[in-house]
A and B are shown apart, each in its own frame.
Chain A
Amino acid sequence: MDRSKLIKWLKEPMKMSNKYSLHVVYFCTGCGIIEIPPSITARWDAERFGVKPVATPRQANLFLITGYVSLKTLKPIIRTYEQMPEPKYTVSLGSCPIDGGMYWDSYNTINHLDKYIPVDGYIAGCMPRPEAIFAGVTHLWTMIDKGMADGYVKYRENYEQYRSNQEEIYADLGWPPLFGVSNQDEQ
């Protein structure tokens, strides 16, 4: 271990262990999934960065959304995000989740992902190469260090807005609100 980081480890053990063991759930919505097999296997080896794919969202703390988000895939994205334990970070790959990309005038592709779930970082490109994914991951480390990757806190705080946006897309979302019910019990 790097000795200069020892003080950091002792001061903020939670933060340090979070950022060096990013367990990822990949949401393979679009073309971005083609970049994932090379980045997690021997050629680029994502485990150098502590990035490791896991089986279920309940074990993950990083959510990679790889590619365009259609109306049909937004629902599982919200479900997956809500199942992840906190602290959780979302990073989206490619141009499409930012503002629609080349599908900006499609009848079936939502244009701005951050209207429905909080997104901590974007890796631009169409598609980004594995190096760009690792640049994004190391940037996420600095953001976690500085406390800027607080999308899950925002989701909790502005849940009503997110929920109303989600219900604007789906008339019948199919599950009760994540927050709000339990908060009333606490009060």
Chain B
Amino acid sequence: MNNKITELIESSFRDVDVELIEEDRVRVNVKQESLLTLLNFLKENRYSHLALISCVDRIEENFFELIYIVSPYMQQDESYTEREKVNVILKTKLPRENAQIGTAIEIFGAAEPYERELHEMFGIEFIGHPRLTPLFLEREYDIPPLRKDFDTRAYVEEKFGSIPPVED
């Protein structure tokens, strides 16, 4: 069964790089344009659970790596067992300048808070997202704070260090 999903993706998509990295884990490198198509394809093939959207700032290579983890619910199909479950990890690259990608909300509704978080922490623009409003942060930052070029120490010195202690 492990090779089943690998073969399925490879036979349906041309420009993807599929690798079985562990017994229950498949890594798929996909281009930005075909990401949503692949997510849709996986959803139709029982991958109904979006577990995570995450992002890594590869500042040396000058791109963001977006990571989508989808996994199937096996109870829906009696021919599978939990032991045979294979999670699929989708990785895609975005340029650091003007990072934009289409939203996955229409495919997985659970994508909404993740995309808001990534917009807030990395400044990635999700096209079609209904509300990219602040989620966790209380104040505005010049550079989104989880980008690698955000200098936290200088920021802390400037913002919190400048506040005077209260004296009697």
A residues bordering B, Cβ < 8 Å? 71-72, 75, 104-108, 110-112, 114-115, 118, 154, 157-158, 161-162, 165, 168-171
10 new A-B contacts, CB < 8 A, other than A108-B138, A115-B164, are: A72-B137, A105-B156, A107-B156, A108-B137, A111-B156, A115-B166, A158-B166, A161-B164, A165-B166, A169-B139
Contact A168 B168 (CB under 8 A): no
Can you list 21 A-B contacts (CB < 8 A)?
A71-B139, A72-B136, A75-B138, A105-B152, A107-B145, A107-B150, A107-B152, A108-B138, A111-B156, A112-B165, A115-B163, A115-B164, A154-B166, A157-B168, A158-B167, A161-B164, A161-B166, A162-B166, A165-B164, A165-B166, A168-B162
B8 CB, nearest partner CB in chain A, Å:
42
Report B127-148 CB contacts with A as 1/0, cut-off 8 Å: 0000000001111010001000
Interface of chain B: mostly helix, strand, loop or mixed: loop
Tell me, in angstroms, the Cα distance from A104 to B157 when the chains sit together. Answer: 10
Closest-by-CB residue of B relative to A73 is B138
Contacts of A158 in B (CB 8 A): 166-168
Give the shortest distance, in Å, between A27 (CB) and chain B (any CB): 17
Whole-angstrom distance from the CB of B146 to the nearest CB of chain A?
9
- In the complex, the answer to whether B166 meets A111 with C-beta atoms within 8 Å is no
B residues in contact with A162, CB < 8 Å: 166
List the A residue with the shortest CB-CB distance to B166: A161
